[in-house]
Chain A
């Protein structure tokens, strides 16, 4: 047990572990200290200074986020000295900030705005510095817009990019009054190592980093009578959307979301879960194929371990950072892009609609999906496979704009075709989910029996540990998979690119003898995606993940290969997994990129 420290905050005594900060101790007493640069997921910066408090015996007001408690400390969080200082600091930030709140994308969801409101900042106390600055706007990326005039230099984005993602696309440039958050040689985000993961967007307290939004474009399409607008929803959206519409973290809102989408006017409300199951089929058979080539054919060119390719942030990361391992990636497109390619081919045929008239929209927990949809490879239907990608947050905006009272909506079912789901597809939304879904199917394909885990729950691959290894012994194989008899399939799961790097370094250094690697760019997997409701933190990720596994457990079908629409599409359209047609529509290739 840690050493216990006694102190008082606002006259109230409290005993906490050594190493606790004043901010944390105050929280235990239900005392709210305002913060800006502080974020649960990140190391302490102590640079905004909004959280200053008075400490008896100290000449200065320490930042409570950065000051550890000490025996006998006497802290006051609300004194005239503290209030004056905080007000000054908020005023200073506002003087540097382009405070055109009414036209800001983050209006109503801005931590600086909220603080200014709490402290009732009326007349600007200081000189407006904005005209003295040469603020830049970077709007070149299809995923992220960076507006320096909104930036308060809290460096949450810099710490996110460095600590959580090990990308460091964003860093601090210059000093003094010219200090700014910038990129390598101040190139646009589009041209640097940025993976478009949007974790910075999710943590930006103001409107300095936001997703590029396509809300108006989607409304245009919906109201265009010549267009048939289909929408797909990613697994992780259904366990998070509620948060942006007044519900508590961890509520499953699948049915309400489908109703809302129908009310918004989408012609067909479909499910990315369908193509997630398809991904399992394609990727599972691809893995088995690679294993066969390696073990039976002794093909020296076959690349193992094979890595998942569902996460476009991860794809861009490996393209920049480990381009020599691109052939280790599964050639499968992500579920979003499989869906897009099929929407304008298979779906169009089935529904007898001219694919040129189809507008394909996806609702994703992700900003990197916007970039992915724009990749030149993603046009195998002959059109842009996915026309618009909206984040969970953008969908919430549309629902609010349409005047829909979300919490009281009845529940509806997805349309068909391409609306059928399984528990295996749902868990794609959490780290380890793709691995679990793949194992449920692959094991059964090879042995004819269900995976030997209670209730199909492959718990070793679940959880929030950054890197998780699991091995599964294959016994009692069917004759055609005899070569796998007795083999131990070794897998590893990582989430957050800092952990991806650990896995890839181990692969490079020959330290990991895995066959299959699942990597998701974002902490927690898609449930913690950059496009998810703000705030996202450890506790919220945990609740969303619990909801994902609850949803899985409640599904009548929990294995991808049993999805009736997946069975049907192979029969009617694709033939078999990894067929020629599958390769044409559902597989892709990658591009080596520069390391800066």
Chain B
């Protein structure tokens, strides 16, 4: 894996980075300067939703509550993504560094890493690295501590408010929003919650400056991004790539010559069929992604792909809201019934309407995004759903 890692761009491995020096110089700057630098870079959240990181920090810093938190979302659960694991393995200090800079801006004394249950094997080394990190903080007289909280394997706990519930010892169920985490997050206190990769980039922006980051990518999607590439590809792995490429460019690089579809953004993302490769940009102006890129060649049944996703969602919905809990079951049973000929092909239209309702009425991002893969697969591969 490491042979392929970060082939095209290297903003985050950067072996020459003097961690302590970057942290120290960031701490010497005013909060406004830090927020402006981050704003200037154009960095958007790397978890998939793409909220401008600087604004998240800014909104939280404006809250008057003296108790605030910074939380690193390391519950990497989206099918087909495995880049946060590698980042935590390769450059954990820089992740912590991003948290420390955020803590300074918002005024937090404590940070937490919510680590995916299946990543327990990383725990020991992360704790070793935390010790090093804390001793550096002590040297710099920075009053900040980071703790690790283990997840228990539920996909929904990657949703930020469900993650807080889980951290507080409750059942991992998304909360109503508003209020947003910037106002009421962990322990109902103002909280910045960022993805692992977002925190690394935040830190590295204070190493290189906003300009270097901003020079990469497009107007809507600045900088580079770490991709998890899997499926029918001769070179699966983790790559840091500049944002803004088309799916076609991506497939030329990573495809096996027979790619019929690319699932961008995992099970909750979009399926891009071959005919749309050239017109589809990977980024916030086209198909956004948290990093998962799955390639499918013509040997794959897109019915099976969709069925697999729906099985996943049916099980991983927290089950509290109606559209998501029941909708996922109906979508799965619905395509099965159509496939078996028990329901007319028109039933797919009914299911698409249902998916549309789920997209606009589900309580959280999980239920809302089931429609993404459902629409894009059913629309583009309708014949595979029926025959």
Contact = CB atoms under 8 A, between A and B. Distances in A.
B159 to A, nearest CB: 12
A48 interface: yes
Interface in B149-202: 154, 156, 171, 173, 176, 178
A175 B318 contact: yes
A563 B50 CA distance: 75
B333 A129 contact: yes
Contact of A47 (B178, B333, B334, B363): B363
Given A63-B363, A93-B326, A95-B330, A175 B321 contact: no
Q: Max chain B CB contacts within 10 Å: which of A48, A60, A95, A177?
A: A177
Interface stretch (A83-91, A190-198, A329-337, A367-375): A83-91
B251 interface: no
A60 B319 contact: no
Interface residues of B, number: 36
A61 B361 contact: yes
A125 B350 contact: yes
A178 B154 CA distance: 14
A323 interface: no
Contacts of A174: 319
B328 interface: yes
Interface residues of A, number: 40
Contacts of A127: 330, 333-334, 337
The interface residues of chain B, by DSSP majority, are classed as: helix
A48 B357 contact: no
Nearest to B367: A49
Contacts of A68: 178
Nearest to B325: A179
B59 to A, nearest CB: 16
Contacts of A129: 326, 329-330, 333
Interface string A84-104: 110011001101100000000
Given A47-B320, A126-B354, A177-B317, A59 B360 contact: yes
A389 to B, nearest CB: 35
B334 A153 contact: no
A176 B320 CA distance: 8
A200 B176 CA distance: 23
B319 A85 contact: no
Contacts, number: 118
Q: Max chain A CB contacts within 10 Å: which of B314, B323, B337, B357?
A: B357
Contacts of B154: 175
Interface in A270-296: none
Interface in B341-387: 350, 353-354, 357, 359-363, 368
B315 interface: yes
Interface string A349-364: 0000000000000000
A193 B240 CA distance: 54
B316 interface: yes
B319 A84 contact: no
Given A127-B330, A176-B315, A48 B322 contact: yes
A88 B156 CA distance: 23
Contacts of A67: 176, 178
A46 interface: yes
B326 A49 contact: no
B363 A49 contact: yes
Contact of A85 (B337, B350, B357): B357
Contact of B361 (A85, A171, A178): A85
Contacts of B316: 175-176
A132 interface: yes
Contact of A95 (B176, B321, B326, B360): B326
B328 A126 contact: no
Interface string A47-86: 1111010000001110100111000000000000100110
A172 interface: yes
Interface of B: 154, 156, 171, 173, 176, 178, 313-323, 325-330, 333-334, 337, 350, 353-354, 357, 359-363, 368
Given A47-B321, A52-B360, A89-B357, 9 more contacts: A49-B323, A59-B360, A61-B361, A85-B357, A92-B322, A92-B354, A95-B326, A175-B154, A178-B315
10 contacts: A45-B320, A88-B323, A88-B357, A92-B323, A93-B322, A155-B320, A172-B320, A175-B316, A177-B314, A177-B329
Which 5 interchain pairs have the tightest Cβ spacing? Answer: A179-B319, A92-B326, A66-B176, A88-B357, A47-B320
